Amino acid sequence: MERITVRLPDGSAREYAQGVSLAQIARDAGRSDALVAKANGTLRDLRATLDQDASVELLTFDQPEGREVYWHSSAHLLAQAVKALFPEAKLAIGPPIDDGFYYDIDIGRPFGPEDLERIEARMRELAKRDQPIERVEIPRDEAITMYRQMGEKYKLELLEEIPDARVSFYRQDGFMDMCRGPHLPQTGAIKAIKLLSTSGAYWRGDEHREMLSRIYGITFPRQEQLDEFVHQLEEAKRRDHRRLGKELKLFAFADELGQGLPLWLPRGAMVRRIMENYIVDLELTRGYQHVYTPDLAALKLYKISGHWDYFRESMYPPMQVDGEELVLKPMVCPHHIMIYKQEQRSYRDLPVRIAELGRMYRYERSGTLTGLHRVRSMTLNDAHIFCRPDQVKQEFAAVVNLIQEVYQEFRISDYRLDLSLHDPKDRQYYHQDEELWMTAESLLREALDELRLTSNLVVGGANFYGPKLDVQVRTAAGKVESLSTVQIDFLLPRRFELEYIAEDGKAHRPVIIHRAIISTMERMMAFLIEHFAGDFPLWLAPEQARILPIADRHLEYARQVRDRLAREGLRVEVDQSNERISYKVRQGQIERVPYMLIVGDKEAQSGQVAVRSRASGDLGPMPLDQFLNRIRQEVTSKS
């Protein structure tokens, strides 16, 4: 029998007889924690065998692809348990997701809490049997006949769209599910199991199709990992911006207004105004010129930019006005390009940095709308830098430094960088000039290298017009979302025929750097509410201090204190209710007011205030000037 060579990531190599299993290679490498393998770049089951030389990487639960396989197999285990308990159930799809898995199932009614308990218990039982998970292939016609006999109409619909002559299934004990794989070698690898919730889900996301029941679950190799996850879920619920936003009167939604259209209430609007003033003032010191552009534009503008071709599904339909087709603004960049084109530019003028808190409107499907995280009306902290090719790296570095400075101010430290490139194998979503792609991507890589920044490669994550660096921030709920982005664009300057007169007296094309530092006001607000659990730092708090008069006769002094602090630019309110002082203090705590100043006879006579800090408790009486110096220093330092 011929021998083959297997190379591992550590540089070691071993010889095996043809037909060696990846499971055997894992055992020989002492990797009992391996769940799946990557052979010559392709994910394979550990039960798969090798017939030729291969580079093999053994993947565990600690790696994203390992977790994905683990949770995919867990979804199959869920389906097996459901079919055992509810033989009449019709299975649809069960993919892994960012945190666990789900399976869409039709049993003619919603699943209840008691159903989930039974299913979870059966899953544990099936996992303990340590059933082998085996890949089998059967002829497509035979698979169609099988599903027709079983009445699995959803699987049958999926199967009929598969053109292959043979179809792969995964079998564990008597249960078999159609799937490409790969999967775990046996069910016993699934140790800690928790079914989280159930909800309705339209088949294939089509509101005109059947309503199915979706069961969400999570699994881990160790119980302590599950315990930590459940704790994080509880913490996420405590910090949920939708609950806190309502409780703290920051924002609201109204059915009469429409879905995905938030109302910023006075306290939330105050936080937003502070954010806006902060970022605008900071950008002005960095040489940005702030502008305003209309919420409408002619459709032809977005046809020139390419957004109509590549982004149409997220745009609102055109409206006919005076014989012209207008659309709500989905992107700010074409508007800023029009500002750049208002005058002839010299190489001495560049870079031109145009910024705006730009209002945009995007059609998001109703099922994807989530509080302020995903809305249909939003305001983006947007800017576009028009620069010479030799200025790109310097401007890119300045944007990255600006992001880091802002994150430090907002106490954001848990984030990663994603280098998002186009996928040359899937050109449907990207412009077709490969030379421009290579130029832009090479420049972006070089800029990152010079900054000595490490990033994750995301092939297929680019925008249609160019590659980008996405800053992915971990939220309080443990999820990862894009907050900031920097994009290099050679395409739109060509589409809009942008020019500057170079030193040689000839017209040249500028490069556009698209950038957003704090995302949209809506997404940033959602993030910060959860990040601080509604307990904003003093400089960002909608109400920095609340004055609590003990009795009505102390109201006049309370108002004098308020006016003095307000003249110093502080955000202060007086609690004028006739409640007891203990109730007023408790209410201030609930509403996350950083400082409460209690005033009574003693304070009014001495010109003092009794200070209570939400973070530190009672600080005792102090002269008003002393408190003013304290709070002013804390605001200035953003501590």
DSSP per-residue string spanning 67-134 = HHHHHHHHHHHHHHHHHHH-TT-EE----EETTEEEEEEESSSPPPHHHHHHHHHHHHHHHHTT-B-E
Encoded tokens for 312: 């149409």
How many residues can be counted in the chain? 639
Q: State yes or no: pLDDT of 345 exceeds 90.
A: yes
Q: What is the torsional sign of CA 56, 61, 67, 71?
A: positive
Q: State yes or no: pLDDT of 456 exceeds 90.
A: no
Q: Give the least confident one: 180-194, 403-417, 463-477.
A: 463-477
Q: What percent of the chain has pLDDT over 70?
A: 100
DSSP one-letter code for 262: -
User: What is the spatial order of strands in the sheet that 480-489 belongs to?
Assistant: 289-290, 352-361, 377-387, 511-520, 480-489, 468-474, 415-421, 456-459
Q: State yes or no: pLDDT of 350 exceeds 90.
A: yes
The per-residue pLDDT for 1 is 64
Encoded tokens for 96: 């892994």
The per-residue pLDDT for 506 is 94
CA distance 124 to 121: 5
The domain limits of the chain are 3-60, 65-226, 251-530, 545-637
Q: State yes or no: pLDDT of 208 exceeds 80.
A: yes
Rounded to the nearest integer, the mean pLDDT of the chain is: 93
Q: Report how far Cα 385 is from the mean position of its chain's Cα atoms.
A: 25
Tell which wins on pLDDT, 440 or 359: 359
Q: State yes or no: pLDDT of 369 exceeds 80.
A: yes
DSSP one-letter code for 279: H
pLDDT-based confidence at residue 476 (cuts at 50, 70, 90): confident
Mean pLDDT of 144-161: 93
Encoded tokens for 519: 């995302």
User: Among residues 168, 155, 170, which one has the least CA distance to residue 104?
Assistant: 155
The per-residue pLDDT for 349 is 96
CA distance 189 to 390: 54
Q: Give the least confident one: 92-96, 309-313, 593-597, 620-624.
A: 309-313
Bridge partners (DSSP) of residue 297 are 327
Tally of CA atoms within 13 A in the half-sphere of 612 that contains its CB: 19
The per-residue pLDDT for 295 is 96
pLDDT-based confidence at residue 55 (cuts at 50, 70, 90): very high
Mean pLDDT of 228-256: 93
391-438, pLDDT tens digit by residue? 999 999 999 999 999 999 999 999 999 988 888 777 677 777 788 888
CA distance 367 to 362: 14
The dotted CATH code for 251-530 is 3.30.930.10
CA distance 194 to 120: 7
- Give the β-pairing of 42-44 and 54-59: unpaired
- Helix extents (H) in 139-215: 140-150, 153-159
Return the CATH class of domain 545-637. Answer: alpha beta
Q: What H or E segment, with its residue span, contains residue 64?
A: helix 64-85
- CATH architecture of the domain with residue range 3-60: Roll (3.10)
The per-residue pLDDT for 138 is 94
Q: Cis check for the bond before 351: say yes or no (omega within 30 of 0).
A: yes
262-316, pLDDT tens digit by residue? 999 999 999 999 999 999 999 999 999 999 999 999 999 999 999 998 889 999 9
pTM of the prediction? 0.81
Which CATH superfamily groups domain 65-226?
Threonyl-trna Synthetase; Chain A, domain 2 (3.30.980.10)
Q: Cis check for the bond before 64: say yes or no (omega within 30 of 0).
A: no
CA distances from 328 to 260, 360, 363 (A): 15, 7, 10
- Give the β-pairing of 296-298 and 377-387: unpaired
Q: State yes or no: pLDDT of 383 exceeds 80.
A: yes
